[in-house]
Structure 1
Amino acid sequence: MADYAGDLAPGEAWALLEKEPNAVLIDVRTMAEWQYVGVPDLSPLGRRAQFIEWQRFPDGSPNPDFAAQAEQAAPDPEAPVLFLCRSGVRSRAAAVALTEAGYARCYNIAEGFEGDKDARHHRGVVGGWKVAGLPWIQG
């Protein structure tokens, strides 16, 4: 498996997006997650996140067009590309896949949008984009 540029905490991801105007954030969750859980809001940076399913809803099958769609969303293979999912698993796989496709700086947002489950098995309390207080909107 190819290496990728590494994992970033949500705050580090935001800082990179602020610092590098050519950086792209790709949310790889499903359409249902975007609509019902919410999405990152990059409007304070004058940009929009890109939304490309890593796995298709509702059956969870791999998106066979993922690499082509990601390359269209992030046309510069030297620019930073940050991947976000629920908890950092699918986004890591996406970072590896785009690295294998020739991109130099693919990052995984390790805590994801919702973070890890707490002791009661609830997300959105421990880590993640939302808990970090970063901008987001309901889908």
Structure 2
Amino acid sequence: MTNQVSEVGPMLAWEHLRDNKDAVLVDVRTQAEWSFVGVPDLTDMGKQPLLIQWMTLPAMQPNPDFLDGLENQLDGAAPSKIYFLCRSGARSMAAAQLTAQAFAAQGKTVECVNIAEGFEGDLNEDRHRGHLNGWKARGLAWRQS
């Protein structure tokens, strides 16, 4: 049975993360994306995003340790909501679906939510990301390493 994963835009995700103490953000992009493009900055909420690659470079192969990495970073906790973020919303949806299934198989109720538009958003008319929509273009807090 496939579990439903809901989807919200970046602004609503930000508000929910701010307003729900145990809500968690999982950024599933690659190490290179975190380093060169940036990561969401949740420090004003007293939180940090969990950084767990869904796919690994250079071949963009699925990360076989994704669920173990998530469980380790959650330290065994089952938050009420987990928000998933990638570049544009595709990888994060797949990660959210797998996570929802894994929690359900353990008998845990965790709402998994994909962040539509992702961190960089859709390509604009010049085929550039980061200007049309997405976490960064919406003016939400982020930082670069």
TM-score when scaled to structure 2? 0.91
Distance 2:137 2:4 in 1: 25
SS in 1 for 2:29: coil
The range that moved more, 54-63 or 72-81, is 72-81
**1:118 partner amino acid:** N
**1:105 partner amino acid:** E
Residue correspondences, number: 139
Q: Counterpart of 2:80?
A: 79
Corresponding residue to 2:122 among 95, 107, 116: 116
Q: How does 1:5-20 map to 2 (within 5 A)?
A: 5-20=5-20
**1:16 partner amino acid:** H
Query: Is the Cα contact below 8 Å between 2:22 and 2:79 reproduced in 1?
Result: no
- Deviation (angstroms), 1:73: 2.3
Distance 1:76 1:8 in 2: 23
Query: Is the Cα contact below 8 Å between 1:4 and 1:95 reproduced in 2?
Result: no
- Deviation (angstroms), 1:104: 2.4
Distance 2:79 2:26 in 1: 15
Q: How does 1:20-31 map to 2 (within 5 A)?
A: 20-31=20-31
- Deviation (angstroms), 1:82: 0.5
The Cα offsets for residues 62-93 of structure 1, whole Å up to 9 and x where unpaired, read as 10010111122233335210110000000000
Question: What is the root-mean-square deviation in Å for CA atoms of aligned residues?
Answer: 1.3
TM-score when scaled to structure 1? 0.94
Query: Is the Cα contact below 8 Å between 1:5 and 1:104 reproduced in 2?
Result: no
SS in 2 for 1:129: coil
**1:19 partner amino acid:** D
Q: Counterpart of 2:42?
A: 42
Q: Unpaired runs of 5+ in structure 1?
A: none
Q: Counterpart of 1:135?
A: 141
Q: Counterpart of 1:51?
A: 51
Q: What is the percent sequence identity of the aligned residues? A: 45
SS in 2 for 1:101: helix
Structure 1 stretches of 4+ with a deviation exceeding 6 A read none
Q: Counterpart of 1:105?
A: 111
